A = this chain, B = another copy of it.
Amino acid sequence: MKIAIDGMGGDNAPQAVVEGVVSALKEYSGIEYYITGPKEKIEEELNKYKYDKNLVKIIDAREVVSTNEHPVMALKKKKDSSIYKALKLVKDKECDAIISAGSTGAFLAGCTLVVGRIKGIERPALAPIMPGKNGHFMIIDAGANVDCKPSYLVQFAKMGKVYFKEVMKKDNPSIGLVNIGEEEEKGNELTKNAYKLLKEEAKLNFVGNIEPRETSKGDVDVLVCDGFVGNTLLKMYEGVAMTLLKIIKEEILSSGLMGKLGALLLKPVFSNIKKKFDYTEVGGAPFLGVDGICIKAHGSSDGKAFKNAINQTKKFYDNNVLEKIKLELQNNM
């Protein structure tokens, strides 16, 4: 397969991007990489490593879209940007997939406008996979659509189901509707109406409402919600965990010798926990519903995270997820 890589996307670009590509070259076979960005900069990074030069192409791009720019405006103006050129490679079918760790707004807008939607999809949705206590779970939509209609949520559920089944290898994944109450009649206009539609979908393993406090357990595989609520879940998840770990650290530092000794002895325990909650292990978040494999890597991705995003992209491709999503939607329409 051929992957277009936004060489200048993310906080640590292009170093982390190139490092990720070179690691992936060693680990996975059958992939060609098209890295977009200023030729000399990308080359300089690549020259730090030994790698098979036949598998890496540099596509020169002189501009960068930053996270501070208006996504749509920036894409329209900067046709010579690393993100635009990577998107174009997918649009023109020169590449099968795109990965970017750059501006989420520009990525989502670009995938929709340049790559385009799958026919019949009302709104594509961002679908990160999160590590939960008892297993991984997906949040769909995590921020692409802040105002949703009930029918969007049904499509999110269908797309999430296919992805979770094929990439996360879970048969008949459970679908939950994020709601502030378990009972069917709870919630706002959107969730009440989405519930009615979801329970009519015989092919979905719809398990009803799931309350926010239950989400982090990971007992429900695919969490369906509008992008405002999904983004809130995602950010609270990261935020609360980080705040709590920071408080633990501060309390330990301000405790006596015994506390510090205790912390030392617990170091392996804490590093285990950190590993368990390391969402970079999963890779990036797929943007489902666009007519191409579009993976958003975390903005702070390091080389390893970027390599994992490549792994995820490969699974997306190898398992023919895009075609299966199209099929799932046709069968149900």
Q: Would you list which residues of chain A between 271 and 324 have a CB under 8 Å from chain B?
A: 272-273, 276
Q: Does A133 contact B (CB under 8 A)?
A: yes
Contact at A273–B255, with CB atoms within 8 Å? no
Residues in chain B near residue A243, CB distance under 8 A = 132-133, 216-217
Contact at B146–A187, with CB atoms within 8 Å? yes
Q: Does A44 contact B (CB under 8 A)?
A: no
Contact at B235–A252, with CB atoms within 8 Å? no
Q: Does A265 contact B (CB under 8 A)?
A: yes
Instruction: State A258–B259 Cα separation when bound (angstroms).
Output: 14
Q: Does A135 contact B (CB under 8 A)?
A: no
Chief secondary structure at chain A's binding surface: helix
> Can you sample 28 A-B contacts with CB below 8 Å?
A133-B243, A133-B247, A146-B188, A147-B188, A180-B232, A187-B228, A188-B226, A188-B228, A211-B235, A212-B235, A213-B238, A214-B239, A215-B236, A228-B229, A229-B229, A233-B236, A236-B237, A236-B240, A240-B240, A240-B241, A244-B245, A247-B276, A248-B269, A259-B266, A259-B268, A259-B269, A261-B265, A262-B269
Residues in chain B near residue A264, CB distance under 8 A = 262
Residues in chain B near residue A248, CB distance under 8 A = 269-270, 273
Contact at B265–A258, with CB atoms within 8 Å? yes
Instruction: State A266–B132 Cα separation when bound (angstroms).
Output: 25
Instruction: State A268–B217 Cα separation when bound (angstroms).
Output: 27
Chain B's closest residue to A147 (CB) is: B188
Q: Does A122 contact B (CB under 8 A)?
A: no
Q: Does A231 contact B (CB under 8 A)?
A: yes
Given contacts A133-B247, A252-B269, contact A212 B241 (CB under 8 A): no
Q: Does A251 contact B (CB under 8 A)?
A: yes
Given contacts A263-B262, A273-B248, contact A255 B268 (CB under 8 A): yes
Which residues of A does B touch, CB under 8 Å?
A: 132-133, 143, 146-147, 178, 180, 187-189, 191, 211-217, 226-229, 231-233, 235-248, 251-252, 255, 258-259, 261-266, 268-270, 272-273, 276
Residues in chain B near residue A213, CB distance under 8 A = 235-236, 238-239, 242
Contact at A189–B147, with CB atoms within 8 Å? yes
Looking at the assembled complex, report how far the CB atom of A230 sits from the nearest CB atom of chain B, in whole angstroms: 9
Contact at A269–B255, with CB atoms within 8 Å? yes
Given contacts A146-B180, A180-B146, A212-B239, contact A259 B252 (CB under 8 A): no
Contact at A239–B216, with CB atoms within 8 Å? yes
Residues in chain B near residue A251, CB distance under 8 A = 269, 272-273
Instruction: State A71–B258 Cα separation when bound (angstroms).
Output: 52
Looking at the assembled complex, report how far the CB atom of A70 sits from the nearest CB atom of chain B, in whole angstroms: 9
Given contacts A133-B247, A244-B244, contact A235 B265 (CB under 8 A): no
The contact of A236 among B212, B226, B244, B263, by CB within 8 Å, is: B212
Instruction: State A211–B228 Cα separation when bound (angstroms).
Output: 11
Residues in chain B near residue A246, CB distance under 8 A = 133
Looking at the assembled complex, report how far the CB atom of A72 sits from the nearest CB atom of chain B, in whole angstroms: 12
Instruction: State A262–B262 Cα separation when bound (angstroms).
Output: 4
Instruction: State A61–B249 Cα separation when bound (angstroms).
Output: 50
